[in-house]
């Protein structure tokens, strides 16, 4: 099987497993796990912030950050197809009492003036806007990257209005590699970031919330309340440290493979290679006789796994466990199916 459903399907490498096996551990709820502390310090340093907190998942990291910014009854602004809106199962409302208002999403294309016009001030009787969340890279947008200049404008908006700025940076590593922007530059533009070690970087589990020391002290309380306090979790933090050390620069290989796939499938009219910026390729099947579930099922019969994201959009993701031979096989299978569609 060649599994391109997500970059979360990677398995830890032998070197990562070895780092995990020999990790020094302690009870992290007591703040005693030296490997977790090292991971948190390293992540904070990479993004130029004071502190970081290890969390079991990207969803929990996002939700902790949103609760840091938005008290119950307050409002979050986000894109309509942001992960925090679409795939976190209503957690902001269900767990944080947070009201969400969305701008019409076009992936990573943000209109800062439109967002500015949506902000509602503190005070009776309207719902006060307390945070804006931006996704980098944008998953449903096809791994697209919000340009640094746009993020700088958003930072200015946040400074002028006092509305918090959070980055769902599950795949921010990809943006850094694709645009040649440092993680510290991204870090300087956000009050909080959530980043994932388990998407493309090859760690089996783990995300981090990054921000000020004060915010991370509060984040620790929210994490425990959500059931995310973990004990000898240095075993997982060791995988994360290994991922940060060894698996960021190589993301350029995943981007090159994604582009090669897009170029090979472009003649079938399902993808514009210029739109592929990182490791996600969206196939637009609206003009094909195959819809996304049908293409997915037929490809699976030939050992290639992809995701039907929407009825007419299939998603293909390259990652650490996809090599050139796997990509060649994928191109053969998908080209064959699209040719006969
Ligand atoms: C952009 C984005 N944010 C957050 C998450 C949530 O991560 P997790 O699945 O670890 O909860 C994902 C998961 O795919 C994602 O794509």
For the stretch 224-239, pLDDT in tens is 999 999 999 999 999 9
C-beta 315 within 6 A of ligand 1: no
Dump pLDDT digits (tens) for 191-225. Answer: 999 999 999 999 999 999 999 999 999 999 999 99
pLDDT category at 111 given cuts 50, 70, 90 is: very high
C-beta 307 within 6 A of ligand 1: no
Residue nearest to atom 8 of ligand 1 (CA): 58
Structure tokens at 264: 């090979």
Structure tokens at 310: 């929407």
CA 289 to ligand 1 centroid distance, Å: 31
CA 295 to ligand 1 centroid distance, Å: 24
CA 197 to ligand 1 centroid distance, Å: 10
**What is the best residue among 64, 170, 223, 309 to mutate for testing ligand 1's pocket, by most ligand atoms within 8 Å of CB?**
170
**Residue 234 near residue 36 (C-beta atoms within 8 A):** yes
Helix, strand, coil shares of the chain, percent, nearest 5, are: 45, 20, 35
Min mean pLDDT across 67-71, 119-123, 175-179 is at 119-123
C-beta 102 within 6 A of ligand 1: no
pLDDT category at 49 given cuts 50, 70, 90 is: very high
CA 124 to ligand 1 centroid distance, Å: 35
CA 251 to ligand 1 centroid distance, Å: 18
pLDDT of residue 128: 98
Residue nearest to atom 16 of ligand 1 (CA): 139
Alpha-carbon distance of 33 to 314, in angstroms, equals 41
C-beta 83 within 6 A of ligand 1: yes
Q: Has residue 18 got a pLDDT over 90? A: yes
pLDDT of residue 11: 97
pLDDT of residue 149: 97
CA 311 to ligand 1 centroid distance, Å: 21
C-beta 247 within 6 A of ligand 1: no
C-beta 316 within 6 A of ligand 1: no
Query: Can you tell me the mean pLDDT for 75-96?
Result: 97
Q: Has residue 105 got a pLDDT over 90? A: no
Give the pairing of strands 75-79 and 129-135.
parallel
Alpha-carbon distance of 194 to 166, in angstroms, equals 8
pLDDT of residue 107: 84
Query: Can you tell me the mean pLDDT for 266-272?
Result: 97
pLDDT category at 300 given cuts 50, 70, 90 is: very high
Q: Has residue 106 got a pLDDT over 90? A: no
CA 126 to ligand 1 centroid distance, Å: 31
Mean predicted lDDT score pLDDT of the chain: 97
Residue nearest to atom 6 of ligand 1 (CA): 58
**Residue 319 near residue 243 (C-beta atoms within 8 A):** no
User: Which residues lie across from 88 on neighbouring strands?
Assistant: none
pLDDT of residue 80: 95
DSSP category for residue 338: H
Element (H, E) at 105: none
Task: State the pTM of this model.
Answer: 0.97
Given the CA of residue 61, which atom of ligand 1 is nearest to it? 11
């Amino acid at each position: 099987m060649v599994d391109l459903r997500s970059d979360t399907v990677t398995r830890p490498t032998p070197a990562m497993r070895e780092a995990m096996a020999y990790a020094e551990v302690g009870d992290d709820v007591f703040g005693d796990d030296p490997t977790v502390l090292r991971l948190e310090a390293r992540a904070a340093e990479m993004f130029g912030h004071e502190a970081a907190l290890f969390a079991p998942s990207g969803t929990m990291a996002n939700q902790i950050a949103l609760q840091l910014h938005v008290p119950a009854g307050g409002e979050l602004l986000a894109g309509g197809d942001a992960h925090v809106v679409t795939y976190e199962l209503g957690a902001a409302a269900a767990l944080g009492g947070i009201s969400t208002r969305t701008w019409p999403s076009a992936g990573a294309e943000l209109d800062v003036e439109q967002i500015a016009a949506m902000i509602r001030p503190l005070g009776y009787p309207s719902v006060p806007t307390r945070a804006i969340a931006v996704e980098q890279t944008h998953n449903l947008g096809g791994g697209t990257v919000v340009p640094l200049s746009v993020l700088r404008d958003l930072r200015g908006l946040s400074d002028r209005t006092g509305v918090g700025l959070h980055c769902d940076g599950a795949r921010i590593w990809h943006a850094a590699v694709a645009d040649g922007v440092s993680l510290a530059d991204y870090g300087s533009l956000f009050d909080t970031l959530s980043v994932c070690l388990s998407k493309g970087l090859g760690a089996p589990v783990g995300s981090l919330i990054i921000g000020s020391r004060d915010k991370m002290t509060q984040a620790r309380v929210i994490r425990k309340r959500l059931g995310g306090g973990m004990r000898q979790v240095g075993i997982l933090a060791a995988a994360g440290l290994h991922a940060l050390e060894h698996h960021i620069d190589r993301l350029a290989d995943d981007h090159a493979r994604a582009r090669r796939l897009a170029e090979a499938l472009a003649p079938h009219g399902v993808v514009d290679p210029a739109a592929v910026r990182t490791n996600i390729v969206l196939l637009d099947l609206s003009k094909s006789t195959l819809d996304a579930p049908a293409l997915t099922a037929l490809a699976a019969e030939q050992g290639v796994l992809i995701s039907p994201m929407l009825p007419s959009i299939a998603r293909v993701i390259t990652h650490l466990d996809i090599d050139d031979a796997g990509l060649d096989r994928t191109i053969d299978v998908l080209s064959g199916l699209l040719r006969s569609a």
